[in-house]
Amino acid sequence: GNHWGYSKENGPDVWHKNYPVALGSRQSPIDIPRQVSHDPSLGPIVLDYDHCTSINISNNGHSVVVNFDDTDDRSVIHGGPLENPYRLKQFHFHWGGKGCDGSEHTVAGNSYASELHLVHWNAVKYQSFDQAATAPDGLAVVGIFLETGDDHRWLHTITDAMYMVKYKGSVTDFKGFNPKCLLPSNLHFWTYLGSLTTPPLHESVTWILLKEPIVVSEKQLGKFRLVLFTGEEEDQRLRMENNFRTPQPLKGRRIRSSN
């Protein structure tokens, strides 16, 4: 059927037809204004990834996703705005086309080349990721902006694996990767209550956006674009690019800033 995507016919402008929450009161992404209220009660965000276990890397037809073993609390984030530890489930990226920016959140109206999402779920309160994904305090996503410059020294492990998942539906082993190597030097952040940025667009995400971008090269970003939206058996070969939703109305929400 008319599965959702990022083209004119099935993209963000028509998602509301099958997912009416797209017009809801806590949708993501958003633009982060120049002035955000500083909340001194916000402690630092802590990412305990030392024993994380990556499993595989896959192409789900919307992004490239690295999946983790989330059967116990071996890799969690806590602190910041979070009242519980949240378990790392997966990370994935959103990016643009050649020379076009592709982040989802924007800062004072400015986009970045790409945006990395580290997706976590509240395993203290919920029995499964899917159950947490429908709860208002179910998920916590850490967003990290990517800007272009020099090569990122660790991103090649991911871009090399992307060759193996060129087609929608492909998956390949991807063990021993610790996403700590993708973090910027400081963890200052903005936080607000929002949603998944793709259907089903559930309003279940506490967003934690790191202020400092990481730097990757144009060459490395170019390898993201060798991935396809389409499956091996399809006659159309659609390059995976511009897989981002644009900023949504703030609707009175408060955005808080850490230090």
Return residues touching ligand SBS (CB under 6 A): 117, 119, 130, 133-134, 141, 196-198, 200
- Whichever of 3 and 8 has its CB closer to ligand SBS, that residue is 3
Tell me the H-state helices in the chain: 15-18, 129-132, 155-162, 218-224
Position closest to Zn ion via CB: 117
Least distance between Zn ion and beta carbon 117 (Å): 4
The region of 1-9, 48-56, 116-124, 240-248 touching Zn ion under the rule CB under 5 A is 116-124
CA distance 150 to 111: 19
Integer CA distances (angstroms), 225 to 74, 155, 166, in order: 32, 14, 9
State the DSSP H helix or E strand holding residue 46, giving kind and residue range, or none if neither: strand 45-48
- Whichever of 39 and 147 has its CB closer to Zn ion, that residue is 147
- Whichever of 191 and 197 has its CB closer to ligand SBS, that residue is 197
CA angle 143, 163, 219 (to 5 degrees): 65
Q: Residue 133 in 3-state DSSP?
A: coil
CA distance 53 to 55: 6
Integer CA distances (angstroms), 84 to 70, 109, 123, 193, in order: 16, 32, 9, 15
- Whichever of 87 and 117 has its CB closer to Zn ion, that residue is 117
Please give the sequence-ordered ranges of beta strands (E in DSSP) within 130-219, or none if there are none.
Answer: 139-148, 171-173, 189-194, 205-210, 214-216
Residue 200: name its binding partner from Zn ion, ligand SBS, none (Cβ under 5 to 8 Å by kind). Answer: ligand SBS
Chain CA centroid to CA 105, Å: 10
A 10 A CB-CB count for 85 gives: 18
The region of 7-15, 112-120, 169-177, 250-258 touching Zn ion under the rule CB under 5 A is 112-120
- Whichever of 85 and 138 has its CB closer to ligand SBS, that residue is 138
- Of the candidate residues 62, 78, 117, 152, the single one contacting Zn ion (CB under 5 A): 117
Q: Residue 23 in 3-state DSSP?
A: helix
Type of residue at 247:
P
Least distance between ligand SBS and beta carbon 119 (Å): 5
Residue 87: name its binding partner from Zn ion, ligand SBS, none (Cβ under 5 to 8 Å by kind). Answer: none
Least distance between ligand SBS and beta carbon 229 (Å): 16
Residue 132: name its binding partner from ligand SBS, Zn ion, none (Cβ under 5 to 8 Å by kind). Answer: none
Residue 65: name its binding partner from Zn ion, ligand SBS, none (Cβ under 5 to 8 Å by kind). Answer: none
Least distance between ligand SBS and beta carbon 196 (Å): 4
Least distance between ligand SBS and beta carbon 213 (Å): 17
Positions marked catalytic: 62
Residue 196: name its binding partner from ligand SBS, Zn ion, none (Cβ under 5 to 8 Å by kind). Answer: ligand SBS
Can you give the binding site for Zn ion, defined by CB under 5 A?
117
